[in-house]
Structure 1
């Protein structure tokens, strides 16, 4: 894994609510809040969307918020474990390992217009004229996956292959958009495309659904949790939770659009139990933090 310093592909210090001297270390640990985001989409799209959310959180907490879009899933876990992130959004499976290795505690996830927790699905797609009709037909075929450690782009498709008793030739493309492009450009015979990437690509005119079809779809997955580092002061953690829950739909709408949450609602409270199926999945597959 590359050095952490090289993994921060975007960082911006938001200071609209005052300088570092405006708040005490007791109010803002270290003088600012460092907010990490997983690389589930092109950073050029993630950064402006999360800047809106980070600015709103900054105002609610009266603390400067530094936004960091990390390079990969493992880097985010490592950054929180080493005390370089105070809050972070993880993929559901990434959270499983962040909870044990970085003491990450889930606070909220993304809600619909009624405030209910939203979900998404993993899927495996093939060209419309492909002879592949089911996961069993993928034996020996090339399959583009997202990144190692991705819930929908790695673990769940591999679990589907295992359940079917087949072995595909796995090609880690480097991200959800890249896996989709590997399929549309004819580089592989199948690819994972989760429902979030599908919605984003269709809206951008980057995916013609009439030319492809899904041969497998997962059960619904609870959306990504925003977590806080567990060794921070309990009073501060409670402040962060309350601040996130008071954000309005407009504060999270741009992020919600990337997560196929439309129309967006306020953030929804979550707990470790919300993601219990992902802990079970990691145990079933024998996954460790080295698989993230």
Structure 2
């Protein structure tokens, strides 16, 4: 009788443990079925990036062994807010939007892109070849005669860095307070380039890598432009994960990006490849954002 009781007890315990294990397994399976979501800022107009993002989505889905969803947002700030409210697991930020997201929600930079083998780019101020402007000094000295375009208001090279330069030279404070004939924000780098090419504005600020990519892809005619100002080196756009992302997922993401050689994906970002990045790489941008009162020290 005693042996029989022990046997029955053993069976009960085994069944209970199996049920617990099954529930845990089911729960883990459920978690893994939830898509890993990535938000991307619109470095070019959204339609131009769709095919490349579909390819990136497929690569990352295979590497993570989990469904990945990549979405290009209509504006820079939307990606910051999506990370802040836990709507996305990873984001492709501009350097400025990254330091804002890091400040707000603890986003962590893990990857950036290479341009001709280096993780740097510049902010340009460009103008039409027929423009009388040949330098930023010309632009500042005669600012009231010229229409100026920034990109997205949250762009590093399309807004933050050139606005600091123009502010230091005494001709710009804000969209409503400036010394130009007019100031506008186009929303993207390619829109700024086209506005200058079509002489809708006299000069505009743009990402150097995106400008070069637009010329190489013949989306704009490089022979119609002059570059009249170039910033110091800026560290390239980061891919950043949510603060709660586990180390295994981070390593898989790094491996996937470092292996990417698809020309269409790279071209969407004006890149020649990818390399690792850390939060410390964006300290100069953080200091610029503090100077402009965008984040607190």
TM-score > 0.5 by shorter chain: yes
- Change in 2 beyond 3 A, CA 1:111/1:175: closer
CA distance in structure 2 between the partners assigned to 1:25 and 1:284 by the alignment: 45
Post-superposition shift, 1:150? 0.5
Please give the alpha-carbon distance, in whole angstroms, between the structure 1 residues aligned to 2:279 and 2:238: 10
Q: Is the aligned partner of 1:241 residue 2:250? A: yes
Match of 2:39 in 1: 36
Return the match for 1:210 from 209, 223, 227: 223
Q: Give 2:169's match in structure 1, choosing from 164, 167, 187.
A: 164
Is the partner of 1:66 in helix, strand or coil?
strand
SS state of the match for residue 61, structure 2? helix
User: TM-score, length-normalised on structure 2?
Assistant: 0.79
Q: Equivalent residue for 1:269? A: 276
Using the alignment, how far apart are the partners of 1:51 and 1:180 within structure 2? 26
Partner residue of 2:174?
A: none
Separation in 2, partners of 1:156, 1:287:
13
Match of 1:55 among 55, 58, 68: 58
Residue 286 of structure 1 aligns with which residue?
293
Give the CA deviation at 1:163: 2.3
Structure 1: distance between partners of 2:242 and 2:65: 19
SS, match of residue 289 in structure 2: helix
Give the secondary structure class of the aligned counterpart of 2:162: helix
Structure 2: distance between partners of 1:94 and 1:226: 11
Which of 179, 182, 198 is 2:192 aligned to? Answer: 179
5+ residue gaps, structure 2, are 1-25, 172-178
State the distance in 2 between where 1:177 and 1:65 align: 27
Structure 2: how far apart are the matches of 1:192 and 1:182?
11
Aligned residue number for residue 106 of structure 1: 109
Q: Return the alpha-carbon distance in structure 1 between the equivalents of residues 203 and 255 of structure 2.
A: 42
Residue 129 (structure 1) aligned with residue 139 (structure 2): no
TM-score normalised according to structure 1 size: 0.81
Question: How much has 1:60 moved relative to structure 2?
Answer: 1.5
Q: How far apart, CA to CA, are the structure 2 residues paired with 1:254 and 1:172?
A: 28
Cα root mean square deviation, aligned: 2.3
**Structure 1 ranges of 4+ moved more than 6 A:** none
Which moves more between the two structures, 195-204 or 64-73?
195-204
CA–CA separation in structure 1 for the residues paired with 2:137 and 2:212:
26
Residue by residue over 1:124-167, the C-alpha shift from the partner in whole angstroms, topping out at 9 and shown as x without a partner, is: 11122322232233222211111110011111111111222223
Which residue pairs with 2:5 in the alignment?
A: none
112 and 215 in structure 1: CA distance in 2 versus 1, 3 angstrom threshold: closer
Q: Following TM superposition, by how much is the alpha carbon of 1:240 offset from its aligned partner in structure 2, in angstroms?
A: 2.5
Distance 2:29 2:252 in 1: 18
2:205 to 189, 192, 212: 192
1:111 positional shift: 3.6
How many angstroms does 1:195 deviate by?
1.7
Equivalent residues of 2:151, 2:192 under 8 A apart: yes
Gaps of 5+ in 1: 1-20
Q: Using a 3 Å threshold, how does the CA distance of structure 1 residues 118 and 273 change in structure 2: closer, same or farther?
A: same
Change (3 A) 1:111 1:212: closer
Q: How many residues are aligned here?
A: 258
CA distance in 2, matches of 1:285, 1:97: 12
Q: What is the alpha-carbon distance in structure 1 between the residues aligned to residue 213 and residue 276 of structure 2? A: 25
